[in-house]
Structure 1
Amino acid sequence: MGLLDGRQIDYYNSKDQRMISKQKWMKEKMPEDYFEMGTQKRKSKEQSLNAIIEILMEPMRRNESDLHVLQMRSGCEVQQQGGEVKFSKGIREYGYDGKDFLSFDITVSRWLTPVYAALPLKRQLDNMTEQNEFIKTYLKLECVGWLNKFREYAEEELRNACE
């Protein structure tokens, strides 16, 4: 699901395989292809998460009949500095069965893990230098751009509702 300042703005329904808006302003302001592109990105993330689960089954000593939960959280935080909004923090992390599993250290473009069984996956991800640079750039630039745009649209909707 997509969150903006703690409010849900969209979600991906894996059964219907589509991204769905939860805010009126998104339906009105976003370009027509935004939800199609968002759906494709979420499908890709769903496939990546499934691949990670497959990789983890053996090292985590799990079997396919058990229920497991793999969650990914990705986003950015900003700070107001005078009239500008500046990047403060980037987040890309995974949890497995309710525990911290992997996190991306944006300052060195490397992955961290508190779980011994995740070391082979961590090493594999660390070697994906182009992908790691993409994540870093996305979090610092594109994520901040979307965040600013979404906040502007949400604030505009609130102003219009108060008039």
Structure 2
Amino acid sequence: MITMVPVLLSLPLLLGTAAPPESPVGAHHTLTFLYTGVSRPSRGLPRFQALAFLNDQAFFHYDSESQQAQPLGPWSQLRGMEDWNKESQLQKAREEIFLVTLKDIMDYYQDSEGSHTFQGRFGCELWSNGSSGASWSYAYDGKDFIKFNKDIPAWIPLDAAALEMKKKWEAEKVYLQRAKAYLEEECPGLLRRYLNYSRTQLDRQDPPSVWVTSHVVPGRHRTLKCLAYDFYPRGISLRWNQAHKAQESESERVILPSGNGTYQAWVLLRIGPQDKAPHMCSVQHPALPQPLTAQWQER
């Protein structure tokens, strides 16, 4: 019989009471924690690691090798945002419970061969109109495992082993209330505190640079690519036009992080080999005072 304990909730809520995807109701901010535990770590992949995000920006990292919660990027220059020694202790305690839970699931399935992964994602969001939201879920080997419904409140099993976990986690009603309180009160409070230190970073606006290229398949077609890069925030519009008419793109718009705190995006357009007319890529972004246009024309 497995002896699972609620990951995170078996600990005191060491985060304490905090001091004072696109939202349909205006601007919003998010605080998200991503946990990953592996049964057989490899070089470059620690047994446990945690990443915390403000909006889409990673602001601290912890892993089982360093055992230190370390602020990332511009947050490493901030003072007073968090007690990082205390945060390291918290993440170390969570690591131990997280890996015990991974082992319990493996024992349930008798998964002794190969490497197995347990992942957790939890956090909250705040909208400009004062409303908030939150979520908490886990996955085993890439498949949904269990999630928390704070409105009931209850853990919703999505796997056979998760049913055993649900029984253990709900044996003490206090665990349900603490999970609900964390998502509805403590997490939003933390997010508000972090935002007080992070407005400059999160509210910045970096305009995109735009580059238009083409690739020819001999005798068949030409593919135009409109690339925008080094922009922030993430939201951007890319559209191909000809004679002021929007054209059907070959692919959906792709947006990816650049690795330096900004984003890159592109959209493709396929045209006939005899098409010599100019094609315009129109780019709209909050950091641009007006849409930016880049033209392709065969030279």
The reply to whether TM is greater than 0.5 is yes
Helix, strand or coil at the partner of 2:69: strand
Where in structure 1 are there 5+ consecutive unaligned residues? none
- Shift in alpha-carbon separation, 1:134–1:143, aligned structure 2, 3 A: same
Q: Show structure 2 runs of 5+ residues with no match.
A: 1-50, 207-299
Q: Which one has the largest radius of gyration? A: 2
Which residue identity does 1:100 align to in structure 2? D
The match for 2:114 is: 66
Question: Aligned pair 1:134/2:178, yes or no?
Answer: yes
Does structure 2 retain, via aligned residues, the 8 Å contact 1:71–1:94? yes
Structure 2 counterpart of 1:39, from 88, 109, 119: 88
Q: State the TM-score, normalizing by the size of structure 1.
A: 0.84
Give the corresponding residue for 2:11.
Answer: none
Output the amino acid matched with 1:120. Answer: E
The question of whether the paired residues in 2 share the 8 Å contact of 1:106 and 1:136 is answered with yes
| 2:163 is the counterpart of 1:119 | yes
Q: Deviations over 1:50-102 (max 9, x none)?
A: 12112212322311x42011011110122221xxx332x22121111011101
Q: Which residue does 2:58 correspond to in 1? A: 8
Indicate which of 164, 177, 193 corresponds to 1:149: 193
Q: Which has the higher helix share?
A: 1
2:136–2:148 CA contact under 8 A, matched in 1: yes
| Residue 159 of structure 1, CA deviation | 7.2
Q: Which residue of 1 aligns with 2:97?
A: 48
Name the stretch that deviates more: 54-63 or 5-14: 54-63
Distance 1:26 1:146, change over 3 A: farther
> What TM-score, normalized to structure 2?
0.48
**Could you say what the CA RMSD is over the residues aligned between the two structures, in angstroms?**
2.3
Which residue identity does 1:51 align to in structure 2? V
Distance in structure 2 (CA, Å) of the matches to 1:115 and 1:37: 34
User: What is the total number of aligned residue pairs between the two structures?
Assistant: 156
Show the counterpart of 1:24. Answer: 74
Deviation at 1:151, TM superposition (A): 2.3
Task: Give me the whole-angstrom Cα distance separating, in 2, the residues matched to 1:13 and 1:77.
Answer: 25
Q: Does structure 2 retain, via aligned residues, the 8 Å contact 1:55–1:121?
A: no
State the SS of the aligned residue for 1:8.
strand
Q: Percent identity?
A: 24
Separation of aligned partners in 1, 2:159 and 2:176: 20
2:126 to 62, 78, 82: 78
Comparing both structures, which one devotes a greater share of its residues to strand? 2
CA contact (8 A) 2:59 2:75 kept: no
Letter of the structure 1 residue corresponding to residue 199 of structure 2? E
Deviation at 1:141, TM superposition (A): 1.3
**Offset at residue 8 of structure 1 (A):** 0.5
SS of residue in 2 equivalent to 1:58: helix
Dislocated runs of 4+, deviation >6 Å: 158-162
Cα distance between partner residues in 2 of 1:26 and 1:148: 19
Hey, what's the Cα distance between the residues in 2 that align with 1:160 and 1:18?
A: 28
